[in-house]
Every structure is written in structure tokens, then in C-alpha cells.
């Protein structure tokens, strides 16, 4: 994996956005994988700024969200469908018809999950998947001990994840207990992964994912098996890494043709 450590959360968002801009300029019909949570918000804000400035044309971009709560009322401001709409589709001006979120209201969950996988496949697969990471190492909502081969399915949220996400809800009891999430196998099928993390609350998860053993106890560690995974973090999230000098040296000496 390439590990890029930057001084501030804002720079993390800017650099990740720059990689996406570069990709969309090369391939206008890019299929993006979208993550929710606070970590990628700076990426979306920067992409929206690039669109407004006329530097980025996203008219042919399609996108698939990683996950969705199960049973959350339609139109609830914290449903991931609402969040993706508010934070990504509207500010970037994406075509809503080309953006899908797993259907957490489906009566037949298994069929809905299979259809979601088929839709990703029919779109030609995800070109670049944006990822955050949970404090317990989850990516998407693949909680610890998720199968590395898993595909889109229902999961029970870990108590820590529910507690972490309670900040988005008025009442902590309102946080759903279940979700639909792309599986680790689904995520690994994306052609490129860009994981962003900011703040020392993520330092333990980042150290486990980047330098720990590959283990389903830290689902993010599966990125070590991906052919093209980039981890972009700020100094605080890099706190528990042991090879920080090497990562900084590598980035400082990155060949110009590889830069973004
Ligand atoms: C959420 C999402 C993940 C996200 C993670 C971290 O619950 N399902 O996709 O990466 O938890 O969230 P945050 O970026 O807000 O710290």
C-alpha cells in the first residue's frame, strides 16, 4: 500500500480529490464507490469546488454507495441515501439516476443485495472506491470478523459503531441496529481503493490496518491484499505507525510521473 501522511485533515481531502479528478479526466465515465461518514466530506467539498470552477465534468460519472442502514425511515436525514444526496449528488451535480445506494427498506433483503451486486457488475465494476475506517477497523459496515470473501449483505452493527454514529442522531436509541453493506470481497473487486482517515481517534485502526497482521479482526487490513490501495491520513491518524519516516521519505521521493 502507499501511505501518504499530510499535516492537516484539509490536505487529506484535497489530495484524495486530486486523484479522483485525475481519474475522471482520463475516464469521464468513471464508476466511483462512495463512502459516508465524516472522513470523506472534505473530498466531496473539494470535488464540488472543482466542478464549480469548471475544472471537472462529472456528467458521465456513476456511483455506488458502500452501505445503508436497515429500516431507517425514507427521507430520514441520516439515511445514507439522504447523506449521499446532500453531500455528493447535489453539490457535484451528479445525475441522480446514475447513483445507487443499497435499499435498506427492501422487503426481500437477500434479493436486494444480489441486485446491488449485479448492478455494480453491469456498470463495469467500481473504478475507484473511497473508504473511511471505523475506530474498530471496519470499512463500509464490515465489522470485525467479517468474511474476506463477503458480498453485499445484511450486518448487525457493533455496539461501538452504534455509539460512534449516535452523534448523527438526536436520540442514541434511534441508531439502527442493522445495515446493508458491500462485502469485503465487493470492495476488493474495485480497481483502486483510496482510504482516508483524520484524527488520533483513528490512529489505532490505521496502525492495525496498515502494519498489523491481515486479520478479519481488523477488516481494513484486507487492503494489504489489494493491488492498488492508497491510504491518505493526517499526522494525528499516523501517530501509531512505526514506519512513518519511510512513508514520508517515499512520498517526498515519489517519481513525478506517479504523482497526483
Ligand atoms: C461509518 C461508515 C463507514 C465509515 C466509518 C467511519 O459508520 N459506515 O463507511 O468509514 O463509519 O466514519 P467517520 O468517517 O465518520 O469516522
Distance 256 CA to ligand 1 centre (A): 32
Per the CB < 8 A criterion, the answer to whether 133 and 144 are in contact is: no
The pLDDT tens digits for 65-87 are: 999 999 998 789 999 999 999 99
Residue with cell 434511534: 174
Least Cα distance to 28 among 63, 65, 59, 64 occurs for 59
Q: Spot the catalytic one: 143, 164, 192, 234.
A: 143
Strands 67-69 and 128-131: unpaired
Q: Spot the catalytic one: 138, 164, 165, 234.
A: 138
Cα distance between residue 207 and residue 25, in whole Å: 33
Mean pLDDT, rounded, of the chain: 97
Asked whether 66 lines ligand 1 (CB < 6 A), one says yes
Is 200 tagged catalytic? Answer: no
Is 226 tagged catalytic? Answer: no
The pLDDT tens digits for 151-192 are: 999 999 999 999 999 999 999 999 999 999 999 999 999 999
The whole-number pLDDT of residue 73 equals 80
Q: Which three cell numbers stand for residue 120?
A: 455494480
pTM above 0.75, yes or no: yes
Per the CB < 8 A criterion, the answer to whether 190 and 129 are in contact is: yes
Distance 135 CA to ligand 1 centre (A): 9
Amino acid at each position: 500500500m502507499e501511505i501518504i501522511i499530510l499535516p492537516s485533515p484539509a490536505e487529506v481531502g484535497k489530495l484524495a480529490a486530486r486523484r479522483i479528478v485525475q481519474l475522471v479526466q482520463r475516464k469521464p465515465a468513471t464508476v466511483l464507490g462512495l463512502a459516508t461518514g465524516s472522513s470523506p466530506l472534505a473530498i466531496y467539498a473539494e470535488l464540488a469546488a472543482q466542478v464549480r470552477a469548471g475544472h471537472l465534468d462529472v456528467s458521465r460519472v456513476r456511483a455506488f454507495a458502500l452501505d445503508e442502514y436497515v429500516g431507517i425511515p425514507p427521507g430520514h436525514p441520516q439515511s445514507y441515501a439522504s447523506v449521499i444526496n446532500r453531500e455528493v449528488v447535489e453539490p457535484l451535480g451528479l445525475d441522480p439516476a446514475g447513483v445507487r445506494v443499497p435499499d435498506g427498506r427492501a422487503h426481500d433483503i437477500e434479493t436486494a443485495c444480489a441486485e446491488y451486486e449485479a448492478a455494480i457488475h453491469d456498470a463495469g465494476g467500481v473504478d475507484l472506491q473511497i473508504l473511511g475506517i471505523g475506530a474498530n477497523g471496519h470499512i463500509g459496515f464490515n465489522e470485525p470478523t467479517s468474511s474476506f470473501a463477503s458480498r453485499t449483505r445484511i450486518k448487525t452493527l457493533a455496539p461501538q459503531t452504534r455509539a460512534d454514529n449516535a452523534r448523527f442522531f438526536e436520540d442514541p436509541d434511534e441508531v439502527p441496529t442493522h445495515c446493508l453493506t458491500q462485502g469485503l470481497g465487493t470492495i476488493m473487486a474495485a480497481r483502486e481503493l483510496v482510504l482516508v482517515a483524520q484524527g488520533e481517534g483513528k490512529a489505532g485502526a490505521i496502525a492495525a490496518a496498515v502494519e498489523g497482521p491481515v486479520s478479519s479482526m481488523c477488516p481494513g487490513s484486507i487492503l494489504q491484499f489489494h493491488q492498488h490501495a492508497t491510504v491518505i491520513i493526517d499526522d494525528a491518524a499516523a501517530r501509531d505507525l512505526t514506519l512513518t519516516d519511510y512513508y514520508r521519505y517515499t512520498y517526498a521521493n515519489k517519481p513525478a510521473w506517479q504523482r497526483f
